[in-house]
């Protein structure tokens, strides 16, 4: 509306219907005793709608956005905000922005500036089934199909359930996607120091760490490459170590050997695979051990960040699905192997254009250190009161009214708050351009399983 200060922008915060005939419950009751109220009075003609609105800002005569100093006068005309004004007010980027859908209730593309949305990290939060993985896929499409003249980043997705592997088969993306299965990933032992091993085995004593350091130093002088078995053989054959220390070291190393991830060298060579406008999906679907998953995420995240600080890989965005499993709050370090590097990325990554996107259905279980550094949050439907409280405390832009709306969001609807926008905005996520991999319904799965059993013992891999 036009005010003495300038053009005032407001938002409707609540809507109610009222009717003066029903203001007194007692009067309604008395009238109904003698006659029908709807026949005695023109009730429907007196029904009207009232809306509560909150003033957000005023564009003064110089086009500068200011806080409103005075309320508008009763009777001032109200109109729907012009799309161009709304775009400027929200801080959207209709030029080179990332289009996630449309601003709800307005004919305006929800296009967010790349720098504002991801350089200070992004969090996507929602309950299971609210559409967060679908929103991530839309984000990936936007970044993969982005023109090189608009600025592109490299993409790495930690895929806990194999939800993004279908992108590698989609013709629209061509050869822009590489899938790496978690069981194929190997970590070179030579790249690990005694402190590196100790971080994976918090129970190691200082004496054991010191003795392991001597052993690794000796191995490096004798061999260019060596495996975990070589380290264990070296320990077993070393007479300078006490029996107790030797047995303890062999026990710790044997525990790591059971993960079946250590080898003579790293595989794959992530540095050569990380390219601008290209996605590397780390598919962890077939790995059951959470410790092994955390170790893989720790290794890849640390390696990428080290390469990025040296300028050996391009600017990148690392998307971590089920982030509360990899960066949990309140867990011991032995149960959160990847938390340290993720928190480091959250604190320091933006300085080196090493960006992260944390995707989680349980925000309260996610490290507050990491979540608080995600300056943009895309929030879909959340119903757990503890998660809502946690989100409200982590974002100054959310009031109780907005938090209440979050619980009633439909699938595919999202609230974007933080660095990417000047004011919280509700978005309807657009349809995917790539083919979505639909899961089997419970009915069809049950029929399929029964047929398999009838034809012989069903195998687990038949249903994966």
| CATH architecture under which domain 109-184+271-429 falls | 3-Layer(aba) Sandwich (3.40)
The Cα 150–Cα 148 span in angstroms is: 5
Q: What is the mean pLDDT of each run of 10 residues along the chain (464 residues)?
A: 91 85 69 60 77 90 88 88 92 94 93 95 92 94 95 96 91 93 91 84 84 88 88 87 88 88 88 94 94 94 95 96 94 88 96 96 92 93 86 71 82 93 93 81 85 69 54
pLDDT given for residue 256 in this prediction: 87
CB 352 within 8 A of CB 317: no
pLDDT given for residue 197 in this prediction: 85
CB burial of residue 395 (10 Å; 0-12, 13-18, 19+): buried
Residue located via tokens 């090189």: 148
For the chain, give every domain's residue range. Answer: 7-79, 109-184+271-429, 188-263
Cα-Cα-Cα-Cα dihedral sign, residues 421, 320, 318, 147: negative
Q: Give the contacts of 114 (CB within 8 A, at least 6 positions apart).
A: 93, 96, 97, 98, 150, 151, 153
pLDDT given for residue 338 in this prediction: 94
Helix ranges, 35-191 (H): 37-40, 83-90, 114, 132-144
pLDDT given for residue 28 in this prediction: 66
pTM assigned to the model: 0.86
The Cα 4–Cα 71 span in angstroms is: 10
pLDDT given for residue 438 in this prediction: 66
pLDDT given for residue 151 in this prediction: 93
pLDDT given for residue 461 in this prediction: 55
CB burial of residue 227 (10 Å; 0-12, 13-18, 19+): middle
pLDDT given for residue 373 in this prediction: 92
pLDDT given for residue 458 in this prediction: 53
Helix or strand or coil: residue 77?
Answer: coil
pLDDT given for residue 252 in this prediction: 87
């Amino acid at each position: 509306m036009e005010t003495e200060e300038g053009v005032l922008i407001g938002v409707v915060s609540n809507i109610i219907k009222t009717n003066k005939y029903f203001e007194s419950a007692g009067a309604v009751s008395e009238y109904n005793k003698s006659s029908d109220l709807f026949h005695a009075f023109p009730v429907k003609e007196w029904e009207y709608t009232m809306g509560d609105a909150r003033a957000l800002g005023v564009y003064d005569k110089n086009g500068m956005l200011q806080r409103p100093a005075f309320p508008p006068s009763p009777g001032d005309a109200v109109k729907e905000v012009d799309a161009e004004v709304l775009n400027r007010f929200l801080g959207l980027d209709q030029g080179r922005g990332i289009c996630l859908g449309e601003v709800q209730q307005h004919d305006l593309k929800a296009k967010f500036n790349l720098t504002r949305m991801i350089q200070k990290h992004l969090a996507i939060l929602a309950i299971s089934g609210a559409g967060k993985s679908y929103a991530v896929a839309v984000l990936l499409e936007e970044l993969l199909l982005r023109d090189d003249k608009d600025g592109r980043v490299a993409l790495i997705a930690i895929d806990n359930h194999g939800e993004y592997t279908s992108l590698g088969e989609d013709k629209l993306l061509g050869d822009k996607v590489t899938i790496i299965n978690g069981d194929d990933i190997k970590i070179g032992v030579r790249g690990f120091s005694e402190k590196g091993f100790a971080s994976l085995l918090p129970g190691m004593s200082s004496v054991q760490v010191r003795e392991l350091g001597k052993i690794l130093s000796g191995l490096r002088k004798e061999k260019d490459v060596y495996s975990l078995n070589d380290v264990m053989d070296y320990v077993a054959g070393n007479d300078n170590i006490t029996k107790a220390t030797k047995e303890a070291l062999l026990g710790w190393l044997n525990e790591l050997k059971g993960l079946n991830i250590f080898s003579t060298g790293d595989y794959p060579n992530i540095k050569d695979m990380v390219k601008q406008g290209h996605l590397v999906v780390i598919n962890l679907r077939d790995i059951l051990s959470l410790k092994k998953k955390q170790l893989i995420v720790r290794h890849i995240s640390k390696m990428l960040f080290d390469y990025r600080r040296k300028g050996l890989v391009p600017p990148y965005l690392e998307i971590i699905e089920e982030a509360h499993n990899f960066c949990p709050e309140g867990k011991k370090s032995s149960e959160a192997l990847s938390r340290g590097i993720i928190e480091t990325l959250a604190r320091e990554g933006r300085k080196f254009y090493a960006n992260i996107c944390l995707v989680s259905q349980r925000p309260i279980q996610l490290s507050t250190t990491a979540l608080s550094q995600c300056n943009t949050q895309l929030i879909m439907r959340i119903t757990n009161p503890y998660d809502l409280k946690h989100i409200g405390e982590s974002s100054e832009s959310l009031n109780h009214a907005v938090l209440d709306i979050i619980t009633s969001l439909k699938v595919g609807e999202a609230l974007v708050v933080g660095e990417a926008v000047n004011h919280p905005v509700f978005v309807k996520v657009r349809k995917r351009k790539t083919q979505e991999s639909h899961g089997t319904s419970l009915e069809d799965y049950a029929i399929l399983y029964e047929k398999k059993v009838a034809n012989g013992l069903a195998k687990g891999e038949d249903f994966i």
